Each structure stands twice: as C-alpha cells, then as structure tokens.
Chains A and B, each alone.
Chain A
Amino acid sequence: MSFSSWLIPTLVCTVLLVAHARGVPVFEVFIQGAEEGLRLAAHLLPYILAIYVALGVFRSSGALGLLTRWLGPALAPLRVPAEILPIILVRPIASGAATSIIAHVLETHGPDSFLGRVASVLQGSSDTTLYVLTLYFGSVGVRRTRYALPLCLIGDCTGFFGAVLITRLLFPR
C-alpha cells in the first residue's frame, strides 16, 4: 500500500466527516457540485471533439509518424519522447486543448504505459501559464510585466523535463 492508494479515500472521508460535523447537508451539496461538474464536462466536449478530429487526421495520415521519426533523434538527448511534444507546446496556452491531447495519448498508448504516465504527470504538474499571466495582469491593467514571463517559462521547462525524468525514475521499465 502506497501513499497514493490512501490519498483519495482519506481525502474523501475527511472532507465528508468534517463537513457533516460542521452541519453541512453533504448529500444535497454534493448534488449541486456534481451538476456544476457535468456542466463543465459538457463545456469541455467541443474542445475534445476538435482536438480528437485534428489529431485523428494527423495520426492516421502518417504525418504524426513522420514527425516523430524526424524529431525523435533531436529530442532523444533530452530524453523527451516525441509524442509528448504537442502537449508541451499547447499546455501553456490552452487548457481544454491540452487536456484533449493528453486524453488522446492516454487512450492511444494506454494510461499505464510509459507515455501514458508521462502525459498524466504533465497534466498534473503543469498549468496554462501564459493564459494565466495574460488574464491576471490584464485584470488589473498591468502592462509592463518585467521578468514575469522568463520566470514562468523557467518554471514550465523545469516541470516538463522534471515530469519526464521523475516518471522514468519512479516507473523503471
């Protein structure tokens, strides 16, 4: 039994027990949240659709295979599998699109394959950095962002290479 097997059960039971002790009607509130979640899923569907169609064409035509063959040697010294590249490119700007690409990798290669695990770790550890930067600074009218962009890019790069490296370490084949 590992930390991860305990995580979700412990979290769920703690939240529900604390909420119950604090007088929250747990069932009714759960229903409200679930409805909001279903609405989010419906909102996500067009993104998943658009990305699946585009990636499907790109893959079945053989273009993805060609790209991986060309980029593979260039990425090999960095130990980054070429299939991961589209995630790295899209993730900082578009959350829905990146999630769809990751889902596509998980479905194609299997969530418990090496690529599936790297993609999952990327999903869990990266953020839509450039989108958040634009949104947050834009919301208060800041124009000069000084060293914010390079700093955020350093964080993104660490996350991307870290995800590949750490997945390799924790799940040796």
Chain B
Amino acid sequence: MHWVFEPGFFSSQPVHVAVVVGGVVAVVSGVVGVFTVVRGQSFAGHTLTDVSTAGGSGAFLLGLNPLLGFVGIGVVGAGTMDLIGVQRVRGRDLATGIVLGAATGLAALFLYLDTTERATTGATQQILFGDIFIVDPSTIPVVVIFSVIALGAVAAIYRPLLLSSMSSDIAAAQGVPVRLVGLLFMLALAVSVGLSSLAIGSILSTALLIGPAATALRLTRRVGSAMVVASVIGVGATWLGVLLAYDSFYWGSSQQSLPVSFFIVMVTFALYLASGLPVVQTVTGRRASDRPTEEEPRSPHS
C-alpha cells in the first residue's frame, strides 16, 4: 500500500485538517453548486470568488483569519448584487459585472499592500490559489458553523427555490416570495464560495462549485440526487487531490510537493469529462430513460 499512501500520510496533522475541511467544504459546494448551475448563476458564483479575493486579502492585511474575510465580504457582495440587480436576467448580469469590477479593484489594492507593507510574498499565492495544508486547526469549528448555515439555508428554501428556478411566474402565482428566496440563495452561495476559497483558493473556488455540480447534473434526473452525487464527487476529488499532493513530495528528486489545489481542480475536471462519455451516460440510465414512452406521435418533437 505504501506506493498509494506515502509514509506519514495518516499521521500527518495537516492531512487530517485538510481531509476534514476539504470534505465539509466539498459537500457544501456540491449542494449549493447544483442550484447555482440550475439557476444559471455561475457568473454570480464566479464574481463572488473575486469578491472573496478582496475579502481574503483584506483580512490578511488586518491579520484576521482569512475565512472571515472570504465569507464576510462575500455576503456583503451578494447583498449588493441583489440590491442593484432586478429580477430580470440582464439586470442581474449587469449588477454582477459592476460588483465584479469593484471587487477586483479592491483585491488589487489589498494584495499589493499585503506584499509590500507586510512583505509576505506568499499571500498572493495563498489567497488566490489556496493551500489546504496550512489551514489552522482552530478554523475547523468556524468551517463547520458556516457549512451548517449554508446547508440549512438551502434546505429551508429547497422547494420555493426549486419552483422559482423553474419559473418565477409560476412560483409567484403560487405565493412564493421569489425575491426573498433568491436573496437567501445568494447569501448561501456567498458562504459556500468563501468556504471553498479557504480550501482551494478564491480564484479556483469556482471549480469546486461548478465542476462536481455540472458532472452530477449529467448523471441524474432529480435535483436531490444531483446534490448527493455532486457532494460525493466533490469530496472524492478533494481527498484524492490531497493524497496526490502529499505523495507528490516523493515523486522525482526535487523533494517538493506540488500545489494541492492543482490536483483537486484537475481531478474535478477529469471527472466532468468522463461523465460525458457515452458509456457513462448509458450506465447511469440518463439516456435510456429520458423518454420512456413515445407519446403523442403528432407532436413536432417526436
């Protein structure tokens, strides 16, 4: 087995922290990611990663836990996007773009100050691309609390959110407060992006949010099962990435580990590509059972 798990993998404390934090974060990203993809809010999700960059680099400057910066400013950014944006899709994209620009500008300033004033050249690398091996163990309870909040919010608004993702007209007619439900989801999305920024870096957090969810949506026919599959894929990719990064220290002769975020993102990407293979689609029954019957021979699509 030692050629799979290199020496010290199971006794290493950074590995323990990475497995716990990565696992929890991947579950949140999977659940929130499915709704993000289904609602067509990937752009908003990506913008929140840039907002997170500003928050993380700002927290670094102030000597705070970066997670607080990631999540805190993400929630503010999500609220701002919702305030500016109207319910129309174009208004929403516009608001998202405006917030994106402002956040990236702030991030540029904070990262500049981080590297000049505090002379920590590692800050940029750590905030943008993350390093789950250096997450402080004391952060774990905070990660769990934020995760429970995000998952709890999605569970609470599950049905109205599903209905308004389907059609806001139908939802409104049925009495769903469409605007409020949309705002609550944006806040859950901000928390989720903040968590994955901690795990794999703010720039890469989109990959953990969208990748497993998009893969799961190819393989399932229900939102609920897509969430389960996305979580499993996310956790699997994260843990495999942690293992590969740990092992990479022993590859070659350079005695240096490669970035863990790189491995997580690449495993996620490979799984997405694999899910598109015809053989996978057939095995999961997605193709075969999509149209169980050929009703209505007169319909133009049949």
A and B, one complex? no
Q: Hey, which bits of chain B sit against chain A, CB under 8 A? A: none
